[in-house]
Amino acid sequence: DADVTQTPRNRITKTGKRIMLECSQTKGHDRMYWYRQDPGLGLRLIYYSFDVKDINKGEISDGYSVSRQAQAKFSLSLESAIPNQTALYFCATSDAGTGGNQPQHFGDGTRLSIL
Amino acid sequence: QQQVKQSPQSLIVQKGGISIINCAYENTAFDYFPWYQQFPGKGPALLIAIRPDVSEKKEGRFTISFNKSAKQFSLHIMDSQPGDSATYFCAASKRRGDYKLSFGAGTTVTVRA
């Protein structure tokens, strides 16, 4: 089983709908992240959470919200989806570690299309 | 505004050749520089990383070269193999603080057999 699981893997929906993307992890990591990937733009950070009570905005948080339901679960919501939110979305986790950066471990992504 | 600029956008190399991907950054507070590899349908995975106290790091056929004064770093894939065909992302972050990664735009590498 994957260490970082994203559901759904694919979703097609209409403008104005509320969408929730879910992420769960079995790695026991405290830190979790949501990114979106667009061609030619790489990965951009939407939100990140360093523990259950800590939620922070990333560089492109407008139009998105998140919920950290437990150490292992971090969900991303689009309250009213718009076509320019069509993208590939990734959840990632990392250990808190000591002495600096720890690798981020990514799920396999959710491909979201908004018509 | 992307904090890490990556080039080229794509490259094609023959099996056994060398692939070179370049990245540049402006924020002098960055002091951790990882490279991630992504295969189609999968999430990125850490390939190799370097800190600015060394100018080069090698792991197998993959080498990072780092030029602190020029604020540039590059990934070299030696003896490229078809299995190396993937998208590669450079990234940068601060070693202390919020540890957020800033990613480059990505380079799609195709290795022809």
Looking at residue B100, its pLDDT comes to: 85
Q: How confident is the model at residue B6 (pLDDT cuts 50, 70, 90)?
A: very high
Looking at residue B83, its pLDDT comes to: 97
Please tell me if residue A10 touches chain B, with a CB cutoff of 8 Å. Answer: no
Looking at residue A82, its pLDDT comes to: 97
Inspect the interface and report whether the beta carbons of B43 and A92 lie closer than 8 Å.
yes
Strands (E), chain B: 4-7, 10-14, 19-25, 33-38, 45-50, 56-59, 62-67, 72-77, 86-92, 102-103, 107-112
Q: Is the pLDDT of residue A1 over 80?
A: no
Judging contacts by C-beta atoms under 8 Å, the chain B residues touching residue A45 are 100-101
Residues 6+ apart with CB under 8 A from A98: none
Q: Is the pLDDT of residue B58 over 90?
A: yes
Pick from B43, B49, B89: which is nearest to A42 by CB?
A: B89
Distance (Å, whole) CA B73 – CA A23:
32
Separation in Å, CA of A63 to nearest CA in chain B: 19
Pick from A101, A106, A109: which is nearest to B95 by CB?
A: A101
Looking at residue A42, its pLDDT comes to: 93
Looking at residue B99, its pLDDT comes to: 72
Q: How confident is the model at residue B24 (pLDDT cuts 50, 70, 90)?
A: very high
Lowest pLDDT segment from A79-93, B48-62, B95-109: B95-109
Q: Over the stretch B60-111, which tens digit does the pLDDT of each residue have?
A: 999 999 999 999 999 999 999 999 999 999 999 987 766 789 999 999 999 9
Q: Is the pLDDT of residue A98 over 70?
A: no
Looking at residue A100, its pLDDT comes to: 59
Distance (Å, whole) CA A81 – CA A104:
27
CA A76 to chain centre: 6
